[in-house]
């Protein structure tokens, strides 16, 4: 498993349940997709203040999906990479409404 900034992509996903802020998910009913190049895909489902996260091969049915590489993903999550800079430089791509993906910042504490 590759590490970026000393952290594995899987570490970020594995910690999401403990970092979840139920109060930040109020009114959210969305499925978020994560496609991390060469590492894997995950679906985050948020509804009724609860979350479920599953590793998957299929991101169909997602309201919004993020595509990036492991280094960019980890960097954004730990504050080493600016998400807007990654987006404008095409290191981060979002299929769907980027503002919808922005909801995740309220739903999780920082890694």
The predicted model gives 59-78 an average pLDDT of 97
pLDDT class for 108, splitting at 50, 70, 90?
very high
The predicted model gives 8-12 an average pLDDT of 97
pLDDT digit string (tens) for 24-56? Answer: 999 999 999 999 999 999 999 999 999 999 999
> Phi/psi at 49 (nearest 5 deg)?
70, 15
Residue 2: the pLDDT is 87
**Residues 72, 92: Cα–Cα separation, whole Å:** 7
Residue 90: the pLDDT is 97
**Residues 109, 111: Cα–Cα separation, whole Å:** 6
pTM for this prediction: 0.95
Segments in the chain forming alpha helices (H): 9-14, 16-19, 70-78, 83-88, 98-102, 104-107
3-class SS at 41?
Answer: strand
């Amino acid at each position: 498993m590759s590490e970026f900034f000393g952290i594995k992509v899987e570490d970020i996903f594995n910690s999401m349940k403990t970092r979840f802020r139920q109060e930040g998910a109020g009114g959210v009913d969305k499925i978020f997709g994560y496609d991390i190049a060469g590492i894997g895909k995950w679906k985050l489902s948020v509804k009724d203040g609860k979350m479920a996260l599953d590793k998957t091969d299929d991101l169909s049915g997602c309201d919004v999906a993020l595509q990036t590489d492991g280094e960019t993903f980890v960097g954004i999550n730990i504050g080493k990479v600016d998400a807007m800079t990654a987006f404008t430089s095409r290191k981060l791509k979002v299929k769907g409404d980027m503002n919808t993906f922005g909801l995740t910042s309220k739903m999780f504490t920082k890694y």
